[in-house]
């Protein structure tokens, strides 16, 4: 089933009909009342779009990134390569080795991660940032609230195809205010740490770094079976830039960068709780640039900021930004 976020449906109706967001939401709420208990808000929005003659998506032909949604199959899209993540090998359940690689591509409408399996992983690894690629017969999956195009042996990846071009696109990470963040945004925010929750540790496989399962007293990896665990960690912050606040999720590398500490020093805080208490007090109220992407936590139905990098704010650079904005 093709899944279109509610906000996207409203935007498409607004673009095609000229109705205001308030008028559209009124129609959707009326439909919800009319069919009380029978449909979701997204379902009501689909019905309103259909009644207004608004086509929400195409099922064939070349698509723009903004028109790609979870559940689509045989997707064809052209984009410019912005980031490449190297090949990772893993043990397959059926035996033998598997490969996967990923990249982020973009066009003038947005960006999306492309995940290539098997032989296509090596093709991704040979690409360069700036290459134009044409993806053929991809399928779209949800990864923690973020849409991804996946490529398998039936898919095709054409590098710098003749006659194809991509209009200039903005920087991958656009500076935004927290109040303006939307699901699937890649952005950077200049914000203060206003709350720091506990540092949580969890067991991972020493080989593939997957999170382990517990079976009685055993630590089980889905690939490598019973293993002696390594440990990783996650930290949740609340950050605020004056416009709003949002929960920010930091994983191991970002935590090490935030605290300017090595992995061994972080792991020591599994038992040295006082050390983390000192760090929490030290970093409350500290301003940083947080770089990452916005996802929806489906369990709590809220937006969260998944941190990919943390940078120091340069006062002169920030002053220039303010002057340019003025």
pLDDT of residue 156: 94
Residues 6+ apart with CB under 8 A from 99: 87, 88, 89, 90, 117, 118, 119, 121, 122
| Cα angle: 105, vertex 111, 115; to 5 degrees | 50
Stretch 295-306: mean pLDDT, rounded?
89
Average pLDDT over residues 168-189: 84
Q: What is the dihedral of CA 221, 203, 288, 103, to 10 degrees?
A: -10
What proportion of the chain, given as a percentage, has pLDDT over 90? 45
Q: How confident is the model at residue 172 (pLDDT cuts 50, 70, 90)?
A: low
pLDDT value of residue 145: 67
CB 75 within 8 A of CB 138: yes
**Confidence band, pLDDT 50/70/90 cuts, at residue 71:** confident
Span 36-43, mean pLDDT?
A: 80
Residue 323 has pLDDT above 80, yes or no: no
How far apart are alpha carbons 304 and 311 in whole angstroms? 19
Would you give the DSSP letter of residue 210?
P
Domain ranges across the chain:
6-51, 62-159, 174-325
62-159 folds as OB fold (Dihydrolipoamide Acetyltransferase, E2P) (2.40.50)
Q: Taking each helix axis from N to C terminus, what angle separates 41-51 and 6-17, rounded to the nearest 10 degrees?
A: 20
* Mean predicted confidence (pLDDT) in 11-36: 88
Average pLDDT along the chain? 88
Q: Does residue 59 surpass a pLDDT of 80?
A: no
Average pLDDT over residues 46-71: 83
Class of domain 174-325: mainly beta
Residue 68 or residue 61, greater confidence: 68
Residue 1's pLDDT is 63
- Residues forming a β-bridge with 78: 134
- Can you give the length of the chain in residues? 326
Q: Indicate if the pLDDT at residue 170 is higher than 70.
A: no
DSSP string of 20-71, one letter each residue: -HHHHHHHHHHHHHHTTTTS-HHHHHHHHHHHTT-----SSSEE-GGG--BT
Per-residue pLDDT band at 41 (split at 50, 70, 90): confident
Q: Residue 326's pLDDT is what?
A: 61
Q: Residue 256, SS3?
A: helix
Whether residue 91 is predicted with pLDDT greater than 80 in this model: the reply is: no
**Picking from 72-76, 223-227, 242-246, which range would have the lowest pLDDT averaged per residue?**
223-227
Q: Is the pLDDT of residue 163 over 70?
A: yes
The pLDDT assigned to 60 comes to 63
């Amino acid at each position: 089933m093709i899944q279109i976020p509610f906000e996207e449906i409203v935007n498409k109706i607004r673009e095609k009909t000229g109705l205001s967001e308030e008028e559209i939401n009124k129609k959707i709420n009326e439909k919800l009342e009319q069919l009380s208990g029978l449909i979701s808000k997204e379902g009501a929005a689909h019905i309103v779009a259909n009644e207004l003659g608004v086509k929400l998506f195409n099922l064939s032909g070349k698509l723009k990134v903004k028109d790609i949604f979870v559940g689509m199959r045989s997707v064809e899209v052209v984009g410019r390569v912005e980031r490449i993540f190297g090949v990772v090998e893993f043990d397959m359940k059926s035996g033998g080795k598997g490969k996967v690689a990923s990249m982020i591509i973009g066009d003038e409408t947005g960006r999306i991660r492309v995940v290539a399996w098997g032989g296509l992983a090596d093709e991704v690894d040979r690409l360069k940032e700036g290459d134009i690629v044409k993806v053929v017969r991809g399928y779209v999956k949800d990864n923690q609230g973020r849409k991804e195009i996946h490529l398998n042996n039936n898919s095709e990846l054409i590098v710098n195809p003749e006659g194809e071009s991509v209009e200039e696109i903005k920087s991958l990470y656009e500076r935004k205010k927290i109040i303006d963040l939307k699901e699937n945004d890649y952005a950077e925010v200049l914000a203060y740490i206003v709350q720091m929750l506990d540092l949580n540790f969890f067991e991972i496989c020493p080989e593939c770094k997957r999170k382990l399962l517990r079976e009685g007293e055993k630590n089980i990896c889905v690939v490598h079976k019973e293993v002696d665990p390594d440990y990783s960690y996650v930290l949740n912050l609340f950050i605020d830039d004056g416009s709003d606040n949002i929960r920010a999720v930091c994983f191991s590398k970002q935590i090490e960068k935030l605290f300017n500490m090595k992995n061994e020093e972080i792991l020591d805080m599994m038992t040295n709780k006082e050390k983390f208490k000192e760090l929490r007090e030290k970093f409350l109220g500290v301003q940083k640039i947080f770089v990452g992407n916005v996802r929806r936590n489906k369990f709590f139905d809220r937006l969260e900021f998944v941190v990919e990098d943390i940078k120091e704010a340069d006062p002169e650079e920030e002053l220039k930004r303010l002057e340019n904005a003025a």
